[in-house]
Amino acid sequence: MGRLNRNHGNDLLLVASQILGVQEVEKVRVTGVDRLGLDMRVTSRVPKRKNKVQTDEFRIGFRIPVISVEDAKSEVLK
């Protein structure tokens, strides 16, 4: 997960804003990966509230259950 967070930060920001619909994203971290999907923690600014941020947890499921680490990498990067 550390490598995913370090090397694909821009991609994770796009997922949070475009797929999950979170606006004003500040930080995204993958917190867990299993054979059915991945968990993300997204921190964003609260619109119309000065210096206010909120953190939400999201679950993104894979299209098919994965069996190996290689399969998980392939699903995450699709």
Two tokens, residue 16:
């949070």
What's the whole-model pTM score? 0.82
- DSSP-assigned letter for residue 3: H
DSSP per-residue letters across 6-73: HHTHHHHHHIIIIIS--SSEEEEEEEEEETTEEEEEEEEEPTTSTT-EEEEEEEEE-SS---SHHHHH
pLDDT tens track of the chain, all 78 residues? 788 899 888 989 999 999 999 989 999 999 999 999 999 999 999 877 778 999 999 999 988 889 988 888 788 776
Q: Starting from the edge strand earliest in sequence, which strands make up the sheet with 37-45, in order? A: 25-34, 37-45, 53-61
